[in-house]
Amino acid sequence: MKTFRLMKTFRLGTALLIIAALNLSLSSVIATPRRDSKPLVATGIMSIAGTVTVDGTRATSGQTLFTGSRIAIAQDSQSIIDLGADTRFVLASETDLTLDFSKTKLASALGKGKLRGFVPAGLPLIVRTEDAELTTDSSQPSAFTVQILGDTTLVTVQKGRVDVRAGERLESVGAGQAFSSAPGSPRQTEPPDDDDDKKKIGIFVAIGGGGCDFGRGPYWP
Domain locations in the chain? 1-30, 44-208
For residue 90, what are the CA distances in angstroms to 8, 14, 80, 194, 216?
78, 69, 5, 14, 13
* Residue 142: predicted pLDDT: 94
Radius of gyration of the chain (CA): 27
Q: Which fold is adopted by the domain 44-208?
A: Jelly Rolls (2.60.120)
* Residue 19: predicted pLDDT: 39
pTM of the predicted structure, to 2 decimals: 0.70
What is the number of other CB atoms lying within 10 angstroms of the CB of residue 43? 13
Which residues lie below 8 Å from residue 167, measured CB to CB, with a gap of 6+? Answer: 131, 181, 183
Q: Is the pLDDT of residue 178 over 70?
A: yes
- Per-residue pLDDT band for 187 (boundaries 50, 70, 90) equals low
Q: Which long-range contacts (CB under 8 A, 24 or more apart) does 168-176 make?
A: none
- Give the chain's count of helices (H) and strands (E): 2, 18
For 215, phi then psi, to 5°, come to: 60, 60
Task: Name which of 113, 100, 19 is nearest 66 in CA terms.
Answer: 100
For residue 136, what are the CA distances in angstroms to 44, 113, 128, 173?
20, 20, 12, 10
Lowest-pLDDT range of 23-27, 45-49, 88-92, 108-112:
23-27
Q: What's 211's DSSP letter?
A: T
pLDDT digits (tens, 9 = 90+) for 86-138: 889 999 999 999 998 877 778 999 999 999 999 999 888 999 999 999 999 99
Task: Name which of 154, 41, 44 is nearest 98 in CA terms.
Answer: 44
Dist. CA 79–CA 9, nearest whole Å: 78
* Residue 33: predicted pLDDT: 37
Task: Name which of 132, 118, 32 is nearest 83 in CA terms.
Answer: 118
* Residue 183: predicted pLDDT: 84
Task: Name which of 212, 211, 200, 133 is nearest 173 in CA terms.
Answer: 133
How large is the average pLDDT for residues 36-61? 79
* Residue 106: predicted pLDDT: 87
How large is the average pLDDT for residues 42-56? 91
Helix or strand holding residue 177 (H, E): strand 177-180
Dist. CA 166–CA 66, nearest whole Å: 28
Q: Which long-range contacts (CB under 8 A, 24 or more apart) does 28-31 make?
A: none
* Residue 201: predicted pLDDT: 47
